[in-house]
Amino acid sequence: MERVVVSMQDPDQGVKMRSQRLLVTVIPHTVAGSDVVEWLAHKYCVSDEEALHLGALLVQHGYLYPLRDPPSLVLRSDDTPYRFQTPYFWTSTLWPAAELDYAIYLMKKNIRKQGALVGHEKEHCDQLHRKLSHMWDLVVMQAREQLRAAKQRRKGDRLVIACQEQTYWLVNRPPPGVPSILEQGPERSFCAAEGVQMIKNTEFYKREMERCRKALTRARVKSSVCLEAYLKFTSQHGPHDPIVSGCLPSNPWVTDDDTYWTMNAPSVAVPTKLRVERWGFSFQELLEDPVGRAHFMDFLRTEFSAENLSFWEACEELRHGGQAQIHATADAVYRQFLAPGAARWVNIDSQTMERTLRGLQQPHRYVLDDAQLHVYMLMKKDSYPRFLKSAAYKDLLAEAVIPPDAKRRVFPFMRKPPHSSPSPALLPASTSGEPVAVASGPECGDGDT
Amino acid sequence: MAREECKALLDALNKATACYHHLVLTVGGSADSQNLREELQKTRQKAQELAVATRAQLTAALRDRGLGAEERAEFERLWVAFSGCLDLLEADMRRALALGTAFPLHAPRRPLVRTGVAGGAAGVAARALSARSLRHEAEGDFDVDDLRELEREILQVSEMIHDMEMKVNVPRWTVQARQTAGAELLSSAGASSVGAVSVQERTGPCDLSKALAATVFSAVLLAAVALAVCVAKLS
C-alpha cells in the first residue's frame, strides 16, 4: 500500500491535487475521492468498482483521511476532499501504537477540550490512568509540552497535524462498534526495513558466511530417489489401507460391526493375512507389531540369538522410561547384557562397547543409543531376512485368516437392524443377525450375545 | 538544591523530547527538507546532552544512602519520568532513522508525500534549544551523514538506558505519581494563556491573514454601528 501511496505523489503522473479553503487559511494538497478512484483505475487498469474498493482499503488503513467527516473512514467517489497521512503515522507492524503514546494523545485532547472527553475515550483514559499510574507525571508533562510545541507552527499546519494524529488513533484504537482494521489482513512491514541495518556489518556477514557454509554441508537427497521411495511405499501399503481398499468384514463406522477391530487387536491369537504380509515390508513394521515381535522372538530363540532382541527391548525401555528409573535400568542392562561374562552377553564391536561403557559412568536416557543401533542393524541385516525365508513365517502366512465379507442381508428392511450402536459399557458384541461370524475365529465367539 | 536542579533538567529534557516528536512527525511529508533534518539533529543533540546531565544528577542522588524516605520517593518519581522520557526519545529516533532512510532528500526515487504541511518548523526547534531563532548552516548531502550519526546516537542512547536499568534499581510499581487524573486541567488555563501570549509575540506571515481578517471585521462592525446610528437619528 505504501508503494501505491508513494506513486500517487508523483508530481507528473500522480493524483491531481487541489487546495482546501477554511475561512482564511488555505491548505494545499487535497485530493477528491473521485480523482483517487479515477487515478487508481487508470494506473492499474482495473474496473471502477475495484478501484473504489482499493481506495477504500487505503482510507481504512489510514493512508488517506477524509477532511469533512473524520470519524468515518470511507471513500466516497465524489467531491469529498481527502488528504494523505504523514509517513510517521503510517500503519506498520514494526511500531505498533504504544499505550504511552495513546495516553499522551488523550491527555492532549483532554486539555484542549477542557475535560470534555466522551464515551470510549474517557473509559480508555481512566484505564490508562490505572495502568500507567506511575508514569502519569510524564504523560501530563509531555502532553503539555507537545501542545506548546505545536503552537509554534502556523495555524494551517497545526490543523493538518491535529487531523493526522486524530486519524492515526482512529485507525489504531477504533471506537467501539467499528471493526479494527489491524486485526485482519496479512503482515505488512515498513518498506525501509532493508535499509535499517545497525553498524554490526562484520558480525552480520560472519553469521551469513557460517550459515552458507553449514548449508553447503547439508546432506541432500535427489528428488527422484525420494519420489521412488514414496511411490514404493504407496504401492506397497495401498492394499492394506482400509480407506483406500476397503476393510474386509465391514467398516465398523458404517455398519456398527466391530469384527474388524477385534480381529486386528494388538494381541490376537490368529493375525489376519494382511497383517502378516505387512511384516515382510520392513523390519520396523515387524518390530512395531506386538504379535510380530513375539513370533520374531520365538524364531530368534530357535537360532540362539534372542538376547539381541531382548537387549533392544531393554534399551527402548531405558529411552522411554521414567527419569527416576534411569540409573536402575542402566545398571540392570549392564549387568544382564554388557558386563563381560554376563548371562546374556550381546555381541557388539569393541569401539561401541568402549564408548558405551564410558557413557555408563554417567548414565542418561540416550547412553545406550549406539549399542542399540548396532544391534538393530545386526538383526535387520542378518536375522530378519532369515525370518522371512523361514518355515515359521511361511506357516504363519498359511494359517493367517482372511476375514470374509459381511454377507448382505437378503431382506434388509424386514427387521430393525440389530446392530445399532451398542452401549460402550457392554463388551464389544458382534452382530447377532449376521451368520458369518463363525469363520472369524475363536476369539469372537465369546463376544457373541 | 539538587531536587530543583533535577526537576529543571527534566523539564528541559521533556521539552526537547516533545519538540523532537513534533519534528519527526513531518519527516517524509511535504515539509521535509534539509532544514528540517538539521533541526532534528540539533534538537536531538540537545536532548542527549540534557539526558546525560540529568542522569548524572539523578544517579548521584539515588546512590546517596543518607536520603530521607520522602526525598527518596521524590527522586524515584523523577527517575521513572526520566526513563520514560528517554524511551520516548529513543523510539522517536529510531522512527526518524527509518523514515529518513525511506525518504532520502536527494535522488528522489521516492518523492515526498504531499501531506499539506508546508510551513517551516524553525520555531519548534528554537523552542527546544531555548534559543530565539535558529540559523541553518548545513551543506548539501547533509542527510546521508546525518543518518549515520543518528544510528550511532541511537546506539548510545540504548546503551545509556541499559546502563540505567542495571545500575539503579527503582521498581516501577512503588512509584506513585503526583498528578491525579484531572490535574492537567487545573493548570491548563494558565498554560493556554501563556500559549496565547507566546503566539502573539511571534510575528510572521500567518499573522498577516489574521490581521486582514481582523481589519475586515472591524470595518464591517464600524459600518454596522454607523448605520444603526443613522437609523436611530432618522427615526
Per-residue pLDDT for A192 more than 60?
A: no
HSE-CB at A319 with a 13 A cutoff on CA atoms is: 13
Per-residue pLDDT for B214 more than 70?
A: yes
Per-residue pLDDT for B55 more than 50?
A: yes
pLDDT confidence tier of residue A108, bands split at 50, 70 and 90: confident
B2-110+130-177: which CATH number, 3.90.550.10, 3.20.20.150, 1.20.1730.10, 1.20.58.70?
Answer: 1.20.58.70
Residue pLDDT, tens place only, A34-88: 888 888 888 888 888 888 888 888 888 888 888 877 677 777 777 777 777 777 8
- How far apart CA A209 and CA A217 sit, in angstroms, is 13
Per-residue pLDDT for A353 more than 80?
A: yes
Q: Is B157 on the interface with A (CB under 8 A)?
A: no
CB crowding B57-85: b at 16 or more within 10 Å, else e: bbeebbeeeeeeeeeeebbbbbbbbbbbb
With an 8 Å Cβ cutoff, are B88 and A100 in contact? yes
Q: Length of chain A, please?
A: 449
- Residue A388 has what pLDDT? 92
The grid cell for B228 is 444603526
B115 to chain A: nearest residue by CA? Answer: A84
Nearest CB partner across the interface for B97, out of A86, A142, A196: A196
Residues of A whose CB is below 8 A from B126: 152
- Residue B102 has what pLDDT? 79
- Residue A219 has what pLDDT? 85
Average pLDDT, chain A: 79
A129 to chain B: nearest residue by CA? Answer: B181
Task: Over range B50-67, report the average pLDDT.
Answer: 82
In the block, cell 475535560 appears at: A115
Residues of A whose CB is below 8 A from B149: none
- Residue B135 has what pLDDT? 63
Residues of B whose CB is below 8 A from A20: 116
Residue pLDDT, tens place only, A376-428: 999 999 999 999 999 989 988 888 888 777 655 555 554 444 444 444 444 44
Cβ(A28)–Cβ(A17) under 8 Å?
Answer: yes
Cβ(A108)–Cβ(A139) under 8 Å?
Answer: no
Per-residue pLDDT for B148 more than 50?
A: yes
pLDDT confidence tier of residue A162, bands split at 50, 70 and 90: confident
Per-residue pLDDT for B203 more than 60?
A: no
Residues of B whose CB is below 8 A from A88: 24-28, 95, 99
Residues of B whose CB is below 8 A from A189: none
pTM of the model: 0.53
Nearest CB partner across the interface for B29, out of A86, A151, A190: A86
Residue pLDDT, tens place only, B187-197: 544 344 433 33
With an 8 Å Cβ cutoff, are B121 and A150 in contact? no
With an 8 Å Cβ cutoff, are B113 and A9 in contact? yes
Per-residue pLDDT for A233 more than 80?
A: yes
Q: Which of B113, B134, B143, B203 would best serve as a mutation to test chain A binding (most A beta carbons within 10 A)?
A: B113
Q: Tell me how far CA of residue B73 lies from CA of A339, B58, B171, in angstroms.
A: 70, 12, 11
B151 to chain A: nearest residue by CA? Answer: A198
- Residue A10 has what pLDDT? 64
Q: Is B185 on the interface with A (CB under 8 A)?
A: yes
Average pLDDT, chain B: 76
With an 8 Å Cβ cutoff, are A142 and B14 in contact? yes
Domain ranges of chain B: 2-110+130-177, 204-235
pLDDT confidence tier of residue A253, bands split at 50, 70 and 90: confident
**Which chain B residues in 43-72 lie under 8 Å from chain A, judged by CB atoms?**
none
Residue type, B104: P
Task: Over range A145-154, report the average pLDDT.
Answer: 84
Q: Is B118 on the interface with A (CB under 8 A)?
A: yes
Weakest-pLDDT range from A128-132, A203-207, A245-249, A387-391:
A245-249
Per-residue pLDDT for A19 more than 70?
A: no
With an 8 Å Cβ cutoff, are A157 and B11 in contact? no
**Which chain B residues in 203-232 lie under 8 Å from chain A, judged by CB atoms?**
204-206, 209-210, 212-213
- Residue A265 has what pLDDT? 86
Q: Is B97 on the interface with A (CB under 8 A)?
A: yes
Residues of A whose CB is below 8 A from B22: 146, 149-150, 161
With an 8 Å Cβ cutoff, are B124 and A157 in contact? no
With an 8 Å Cβ cutoff, are B28 and A86 in contact? yes
Residue pLDDT, tens place only, A290-314: 999 999 999 999 999 999 999 999 9
With an 8 Å Cβ cutoff, are B14 and A141 in contact? yes
Residue A443 CB partners (closer than 8 Å, separation 6+): A262, A268, A269
Residue pLDDT, tens place only, B14-43: 888 888 888 888 877 776 677 788 888 888
In the block, cell 512503588 appears at: B174
Per-residue pLDDT for B162 more than 50?
A: yes
* B2-24 helix and B34-63 helix, angle to the nearest 10 degrees: 150
- Residue B229 has what pLDDT? 92
A403 or A218, which is more confident: A218
Nearest-CA distance B231 → chain A (Å): 31
Task: Over range B84-92, report the average pLDDT.
Answer: 90
CB-CB neighbours of A66 under 10 Å = 20
With an 8 Å Cβ cutoff, are B119 and A154 in contact? yes
- Residue B109 has what pLDDT? 55
Task: Over range B106-110, report the average pLDDT.
Answer: 59
Per-residue pLDDT for B231 more than 50?
A: yes
With an 8 Å Cβ cutoff, are B11 and A141 in contact? yes
Nearest CB partner across the interface for B121, out of A129, A135, A153: A153
Cβ(A277)–Cβ(A388) under 8 Å?
Answer: no
In the block, cell 508503494 appears at: A3
Cβ(B115)–Cβ(A64) under 8 Å?
Answer: no
Weakest-pLDDT range from A211-225, A228-242, A255-269:
A255-269
pLDDT confidence tier of residue B114, bands split at 50, 70 and 90: low
The grid cell for A299 is 524364531
- Residue A422 has what pLDDT? 43
A156 to chain B: nearest residue by CA? Answer: B117
pLDDT above 70 as % of chain A: 80
The grid cell for B225 is 454601528
- Residue B104 has what pLDDT? 75
With an 8 Å Cβ cutoff, are B114 and A29 in contact? yes
Per-residue pLDDT for A447 more than 50?
A: no
Residues of A whose CB is below 8 A from B87: 100
pLDDT confidence tier of residue B200, bands split at 50, 70 and 90: very low
Nearest CB partner across the interface for A115, out of B14, B98, B185: B185
Nearest-CA distance A30 → chain B (Å): 7
